[in-house]
Amino acid sequence: MTAVSLPAVLAGRPGVPRVVVALLLAAVLPPLAGATPLLSEPHALLLTGACVTAMAALSLNLLLGYAGQVSLGQYAFVGVGAFTTGIVTGVADLRLPWLLGLLASAVVGAGLAFLVGLPALRLRGLYLAVVTIAVAYAASESLFRIDAIGGGSAGKVVPRPYVGDTALASNASILAIGLVLLVLLWRADVNLTRSRLGRALRVIKADESVAASFGVDVARYKLLAFSLSGAIAGIAGCLNGTAYGTVTGAGYGYAQSLALLVVVVVGGLGSRGGVVAAAFVVTLYPEVLLSIVGDGIRGVDLVINGVVLMAVVAFQPRGYAGAMADARERRRARQGGEPPLPPTRPSLPDLGRPSGMPTPRRIHRGEPVLHGSGISVAFGGLQAVDGAGLRVDRGTIAALMGPNGAGKTTLFNALTGALTPDAGTVHFLGEDVSSLAAHRRAARGMGRTFQLIGLAKAETVYENLLIAQHLAAPYGVAAALTTLGSRAWERDLRDRADATMDGLGFGRYRDTPVGRLSHGQQRIVEIGCALVTSPELLMLDEPSAGMSPAAAEDLASTLIDIRDTLGRTILLIEHNIPLVLATADELYVMDAGRVIADGEPLEVVGRPEVVRAYLGQEVSA
Amino acid sequence: MSAAPMLEIIDVTAGFGAVTVLHGVSMVVPAGSIAGVFGLNGAGKSVTMKTIGGVVPVRSGRVLLDGEDVTTLSPEQRVARGMGHVPQGRQVFPGLSVEDNLRLGAYTLRRRRRARYAASLERTYSQFPVLRERRHQLAGTMSGGQQASLSVARALINEPRLILVDEPSAGLSPVAQLELRAVLEVVRQTGVTMVLVEQNVAFGLSLVDTAHLLQTGRVVHSAPVASLDNDTLATHLGIGRVLAGATGSALLARKRGTS
Amino acid sequence: MGQVLLLGLIQAGIYALFAVGIVFVYRATRVLTFAGGEIGTASLYVAALVSTRAGLPWGVGALAAVTSAVLLGAAFEFLLVRRAVDADPVVLSILTVGLALTLLSVETLAFGSSPQGLAPPFRGGVELAGIVLSPTMIASLVVAAALGLGLQSALRRTDFGLGILAAAEDPAAVRLVGVPLARIRLVVWSASAGPAAVAALLVEPTVGFVTPGYASTLYLGGLVAAVLGGLTSLSGAVIGAVVLGLTESVAQRLFGDAGIPNLNYVVDLMLLLLALVGRNALPGLVAWIYPPPPAAPTSTPVAEEIPA
């Protein structure tokens, strides 16, 4: 199943928390040696409960923390797992193996979550929240109470797993199973976050249009997130049902789902370690309090949970993990700030097209790389682009200029497929791509950057360069979860990311979150992201915006390098006239939605209609 | 024109987070005059406006409105003291009717002296007849030019002493720009003091009395419009010289040499 | 048939009361509040303390309940919402989940799970189609409709109400016309707690007793009704509640013997999915409940000046 073997777990391999290993040893070894378990049976059950919470937290964290989809009914999926195990293993006289129940829980959990995810494709976050609450109630109050499913008022009985002919009667043995499952899920989660799948989910959460521009099929990945989350929740439910022996709807309701939300938010959304730690703390501390203070304290823990949730959301929305990150940040700041920007003298490597991506179509000499014609876009009453067109030849830099509101970015978006124009056609490498979605155009070799930086800001430079190669490593979900069959791909991605980073002179910022770089640096990273898959055409929306003049000069030489050394084609929207004159071979000027001039840049900027467009209608003296 | 300044900005620095955008901007706007702030993208025009309005706090320096220090006041308090805004992108409330937009514009006037509102509304409608025609229409369904009129009217109806107009021509079609031109002429005739930020330099220059030219967060030149010529503008804005091709050809030579 | 209709309307009254409060908060802040049910329950405990334990009249207890709810809303805004570093509506909605959890656990801690009684304000009732209608049952739907219309007109007619609507559309721009945004938010959060208390007070005689979290299950109906009504329309919320109540009642009559306990939750879920998915599929049919949003701004968005 996963890359981690049991001996490796026992040996405390990095990435497996030592606490888990210690607990596993404590649970497994003494009974094997014929001694009394170190843990009392009630304590083992309690710890198993913590494992269940931790798994459920991982499932909610996948959905909410990684993919940004709100679920207030996660325990419905956990419950589905518990009841499925009961039904599958309880079928009269068949004595179906427990493992089959486990598998069925994962599958049914995934299936239900998939169904809940379907409306999520069209709903904004809060509508989805209401849907999930309704699911929580419908499942725990209604579905799980149907006699055929829930076994009537007594609840569904889940038999203990068998090894040979002996049932695993002790709670400690169930705890051992739970810990193994938790470690496996942890490992799968680690693999997931380091795979193209995890990266795709993170970038969807950050910005869906950025995700699409990197070639991520947003709808498909959202459904995947729901399904995986449902599967993990189902597994947690299977363990919970097995540990307690009977399952009733009351144990898997809205209240439990909200408690799980506390765990995930307090632990820190998106932080695997944080949410698992929080799961153990939140499950165990009330018992510790009870044993210290006595029965009078019963119920106070729930008040504490609610207050802590509010405080965390209001003051530290990134939870415990976020607070730790901030503390590290402050320590680093005290020890002296970031080193200044290194002189970016790029020597860009020619990486070639990644093997996972289609080779761009070959075109005849003289045929344009990009050709848009007759493009019109209207927003409400405003004709933003009005029959505009342009062509870009191979190995050249074309620039698009014009005053604010001239329609440059709108035309740009129509060319990349980010919006559908009312009229007009777009040909890319001789192929009519007018009806293709943005990510399909990206796959054909169109790389772009955004006016407002199109990067996942919270992720590091390196991560962003990996996310940008989404289409370059087309391995599937199983490979992502197990790393089997994805390693060669990932190695290739990392090599390309490293080469691009070094080529741009950004090696020392490898692990710096992009959001902490200066605006100009972010621009360069963004261009790196567009370049890393070696697209035929690079489309840049105001790359020099917010740059100092010196940085803009560096940018100019980078662009010239991309054209002359790598032989790529570039289309850029630019306000910075010196930059345009220093780089562009062809200049298009737009005003009021139309292309009013095009040709040799220096000649074009001198034309009266261009000067008029810039200085306005009434030139005063 | 009276000589007493309606607005005085003294050595203001401001910015966001770790970034400082304004590095010691100073500016005096006499009562009854119209000041223009011009500069390229990123020069700090918008931040200057937001600092005057109180949306972006100043790091150092002072802002005086009619002699009163308003540096530490909130945007709402400044509006109550006679500041009016025509924000960038117009920002009318699209889901409210035209008349409701105007009524909100008069929020502080109606609190001070409710009786004045009827007259003020009447005056606004006669200044902007198109708004009277469309008083019950949702603001978001009007054309860009009409929204610009509404945005200006919404500021004027509160009887401000100073009105801040931020990039009014941005995103407007040429026809709508002509409409806007007429609207701002109306404002000028009311005699209210105005600060205008504009990227369309010619459009702005035709309206203002004094021009303040900004480059990278500093005022590099302030002068009455009458004394400005194209060369001065070109030098201080940094666009004209390139359009004229002076430094452009040098850059071009460099490019040919390196490639 | 008459009975089915009547039962549906009684349920609709309860849902409508909660839905009106939910829509009010959403219109004013774009936040979906999940705390209304618990604010209602908590304020009901206040009423029980004042009326049942201290023996004061129902009216005094009700007043105390509404007052305490309003104060609670104000404290919530002042201590937490205002300080939330990230003002994203989803984050603030999770904040209201925190409030609900806290109130629920405080109720449990303070009053245990033993039900508290609260004498109904009026005795007697009318019998109709074999059902005894108590005055509060009739009042629920009437009060909900009145509250909805009243709030709607307060939002439209007063300057402050307009400010609330405008603040929801564009918080930055309202400050530039001089509307005090901080005060608006304080008033919205405190005022929105009022309907929750009123809802709980009117529902209680139908249910008959107060237990921790008793209003939460009914609150789900309020949420669904609010969504059915388009989330931004106060009258839509009342219509949504009626649709929901009647559907539940009809479904109970038709499928009540099918062996599905608490059928109403399944109906809620189905109706919700139908409305949310159907809104995309059948735009014409439901357009009258969901008024189309105002047309996209007719200007191209202007890029902010980006600091270097």
Cβ–Cβ of B140/C294 closer than 8 Å? yes
pLDDT of residue A257: 92
pLDDT of residue B204: 83
Domain hosting C8: range is 2-286
pLDDT of residue A415: 92
**What does the mean pLDDT of chain A come to?**
82
Task: From chain B, pick out residues whose CB is under 8 angstroms from the CB of C307.
Answer: 15-16, 19, 21, 42, 47
| Token pair belonging to A112 | 């239900």
Is a pLDDT exceeding 60 seen at residue B252?
no
Sheet holding A382-392, edge to edge: A382-392, A370-379, A423-428, A431-432
ipTM of predicted complex: 0.86
Q: Give the C-alpha distances (Å, rounded to integers) separating A366 from A590, B63, C28.
A: 25, 60, 58
Q: Give the C-alpha distances (Å, rounded to integers) separating C287 from B142, C230, C281, C284.
A: 22, 10, 11, 5
pLDDT of residue A18: 63
Cβ–Cβ of C176/B105 closer than 8 Å? no
pLDDT of residue A426: 93
Residues C210, C118 contacting (CB under 8 angstroms): yes
C216 in a structural domain: yes
CA distance A53 to A233: 9
Domain extents for chain B? Answer: 5-256
Cβ–Cβ of B111/C179 closer than 8 Å? no
pLDDT of residue C113: 66
Strongest mean pLDDT among B142-151, B176-185, C127-136 = B142-151
Strongest mean pLDDT among A93-97, A150-154, A274-278, C198-202 = A274-278
Cβ–Cβ of A582/B200 closer than 8 Å? no
Pairing of strands B193-198, B162-166: parallel
C297 in a structural domain: no
pLDDT of residue B257: 42
pLDDT of residue A336: 54
Q: Specify the CATH number for the domain of residue C226.
A: 1.10.3470
Is a pLDDT exceeding 50 seen at residue A4?
no
Q: What is the identity of the amino acid at A41?
A: E
Residues A427, A613 contacting (CB under 8 angstroms): no
C78 in a structural domain: yes
As a whole number of angstroms, the longest Cα–Cα distance in chain C is: 75
The residue-averaged pLDDT of A144-154 equals 77
pLDDT of residue B99: 93
Using the Cα atoms of residue B164, residue B169, residue B172 and residue B174 in order, give the sign of their dihedral. positive
pLDDT of residue C85: 57
Check residues A326 and B135 and name the one with the higher pLDDT.
B135
The tens-digit pLDDT sequence of chain C (308 residues) is: 677 888 888 888 889 889 988 998 888 888 899 999 999 999 999 988 888 777 888 889 899 999 999 999 999 999 988 887 556 788 888 899 999 999 998 988 888 767 777 777 766 667 777 777 777 777 888 888 888 888 888 888 889 999 998 988 888 889 899 999 889 989 999 988 888 898 888 887 777 778 887 788 889 999 999 988 888 888 888 889 999 999 988 888 888 777 777 888 888 898 888 887 766 544 444 444 545 444 333 333 333 333 33
| Token pair belonging to B196 | 């205008």
Domain count, chain C: 1
Cβ–Cβ of A261/C220 closer than 8 Å? no
Residues A602, A413 contacting (CB under 8 angstroms): no
| Token pair belonging to A560 | 């010239």
C293 in a structural domain: no
C190 backbone φψ class: left, alpha, beta (φ>0; ψ -120 to 50): alpha
Q: Which residues of C274-296 are buried (b: 16+ CB within 10 A; e: fewer)?
A: ebbeebeeeeeeeeebbeeebee
pLDDT of residue C117: 74
Taking any CB pair shorter than 8 Å as contact, residues of chain B touching chain A are 19, 40-42, 141-144, 167, 169-174, 177, 199-206, 225, 229-230, 239-240, 242-245, 247-249, 251-252, 254-255, 258-259
Question: Which ranges constitute the DSSP H helices of chain C?
Answer: 2-29, 36-47, 58-79, 89-111, 135-157, 159-169, 171-176, 181-207, 214-228, 234-255, 263-281, 283-286
Q: What is the identity of the amino acid at B190?
A: T
CA distance B8 to B80: 18
C301 in a structural domain: no
C302 in a structural domain: no
Is a pLDDT exceeding 70 seen at residue A348?
no
Is a pLDDT exceeding 50 seen at residue B245?
no
Minimum CA–CA partner of A306 in chain C: C102
| Token pair belonging to B72 | 């530490």
Given B91, B141, B158, which is nearest C294 (Cβ)?
B141
What percentage of residues in chain A have a pLDDT greater than 90?
Answer: 23
DSSP collapsed to 3 states, A400-435: EECCCCCCHHHHHHHHHCCCCCCEEEEEECCEECCC
Given A262, A317, A547, which is nearest C85 (Cβ)?
A317
| Token pair belonging to C88 | 């994203």
Check residues A24 and C284 and name the one with the higher pLDDT.
A24
Q: Which of B50, B77, B91 to mutate to test the interface with C (most CBs of C within 10 A)?
A: B91
Pairing of strands C126-128, B193-198: unpaired
Residue A156 CB neighbour total at 10 angstroms = 22
Given A577, A578, A618, which is nearest B206 (Cβ)?
A618
Among A88, A87, A125, CA closest to A208? A125
A462 backbone φψ class: left, alpha, beta (φ>0; ψ -120 to 50): alpha
Given B204, B243, B255, which is nearest A582 (Cβ)?
B255
pLDDT of residue A155: 78
pLDDT of residue A424: 92
> What phi and psi, each to the nearest 5 degrees, are found at residue B169?
-85, -10
* CATH of the domain spanning B5-256: 3.40.50.300
pLDDT of residue B234: 66
Residue A429 CB-half CA count within 13 A: 17
pLDDT tens for A70-80 read 889 999 999 99
Q: What is the identity of the amino acid at A85?
A: T
pLDDT of residue A236: 95
The residue-averaged pLDDT of A152-165 equals 77
DSSP collapsed to 3 states, A140-197: HHHHHHCHHHHCCCCCEECCCCEECCEECCCHHHHHHHHHHHHHHHHHHHHHHHCCHH
Is a pLDDT exceeding 50 seen at residue A11?
no
Task: From chain A, pick out residues whose CB is under 8 angstroms from the CB of B174.
Answer: 592, 617
- Asked whether the whole model's pTM tops 0.90, one would answer no
Band of the pLDDT at A43, cuts 50, 70, 90?
A: confident
CA A296 to chain centre: 45
Pairing of strands A569-573, A397-401: parallel
C172 in a structural domain: yes
Least confident residue range of A265-269, A310-314, B3-7: B3-7
| Token pair belonging to A204 | 């969807």
Among A109, A159, A152, A92, CA closest to A144? A152
Residues A16, A179 contacting (CB under 8 angstroms): no
CB-based contacts of C92, cutoff 8 Å, min separation 6 = C29, C31, C81, C84
C124 in a structural domain: yes
Torsion of CA C198, C203, C205, C211, to 10 degrees: -100
Cβ–Cβ of C95/A313 closer than 8 Å? yes
